[in-house]
Chains A and B, each alone.
Chain A
C-alpha cells in the first residue's frame, strides 16, 4: 500500500515550500513503476491495485504542485477545517476590490485597445496572485494558530483571484 500522506509519498519536506524538481522527479518514478504496461501479465487484482495507486499518485501530484491546492491540503492536515462550500465571506474591502476588478473586466471588450487592456489586467492579477502566495508562505512558516487562520483567509481570497484569472483568460483567448 502507498502512504496516504502526499508529502511522504513524494519524499518532500511537509510544508508550503516544496522542492518542485524533486516532486516532479518522484512523480515520474512512481508513474513508471505503476505503468499499466508493467501489469500486462499480472493478476486482475494486482492490475486493479496498480491503477488505483496510479490515480492516487496523480491526485497527490496535482495537489502538491499547485500552491492553492497545496495550501488547502496543508490546512486540512494541520486540523484547520475548511469552511463548507456554501459559506460566504463578508470582507468588505476585499470584496469591493473584487467588484471593481469584475467591472473593469466586464467593460474591457469595449476598450480602445482591448488586447492591451486584457494583457495589463492579467499581469496585475498575476502579481496579486503572487503576493497572496508569498503571504501564504509566510503564514505557514509562522504556523501558530493565528497564522494558520490567516492562511485560511488567504486561501479563500486566492480562490476569487483564480476565478477571475479564468474569466480573464477566456476573454483574452476570445480577443486573439
Chain B
C-alpha cells in the first residue's frame, strides 16, 4: 500500500521520539495498544504550571501510519493547553496524513494516547 508523502516524511524523520521521566509530577504518560494490529504507543507530555503542554515525546511500535500519527500529534500538542489538546480528534490526524480507511485505526490509537496522557497528568496533579 502506498503511504502519503506526509506519512513517509514522519516515518522517515519522526519528530520528538524519546521519553520523559514518567514519575515526574509535570509529566503525563499515555500508554495504549491496539489488539487488532498489535501496535503499542507511548505518548508523554510535559505540562507547565499554567496547564500548557511545553513538550511532548513518543515511542511507537507499529506500522508507518501509527508512527506518523503519533509523531504528528507530538507536534500539534506543543503550546496547546490541556483543554485544547483534549479536543484533537482522530479524524483531524487521519485527514492531515491522508490515511486510507484501513489505517484510520492508527489515528484512533493516537487520539486515545493523548487522552490517556492528559488523564494521567490530571490524576497525578489533582488536589
Contacts and interface: CB of A to CB of B under 8 A. Distances in A.
Given A99-B42, A162-B38, A163-B37, A90 B108 contact: no
27 contacts: A85-B36, A86-B34, A86-B36, A87-B35, A88-B33, A88-B108, A88-B112, A89-B32, A90-B31, A90-B32, A90-B33, A90-B112, A91-B33, A95-B31, A98-B40, A98-B61, A99-B31, A99-B42, A99-B59, A106-B61, A157-B35, A159-B36, A159-B38, A160-B40, A163-B37, A163-B38, A164-B38
Interface of A: 83, 85-92, 94-96, 98-99, 102, 106, 155-157, 159-160, 162-164
B36 to A, nearest CB: 4
Q: Interface extent on B, as a size class?
A: 10 to 19
Contact of A89 (B35, B61, B105, B108): B35
A95 B38 contact: no
B116 interface: yes
A95 B116 CA distance: 13
B109 interface: yes
Interface of A, helix, strand, loop or mixed by DSSP = helix
Contacts of A94: 33
A83 B37 CA distance: 13
Contacts of B37: 163
Interface of B, helix, strand, loop or mixed by DSSP = mixed
Most chain-A CB neighbours within 10 Å: which of B33, B34, B42, B61? B33
A126 B105 CA distance: 28
Nearest to A153: B35
A156 B38 CA distance: 9
B20 to A, nearest CB: 15
Interface string B19-49: 0000000000001111111101010000000
A155 B116 CA distance: 22
Contacts of A159: 35-36, 38
Closest 8 CB pairs of A and B: A163-B38, A102-B61, A156-B35, A159-B35, A85-B36, A86-B105, A88-B112, A88-B32
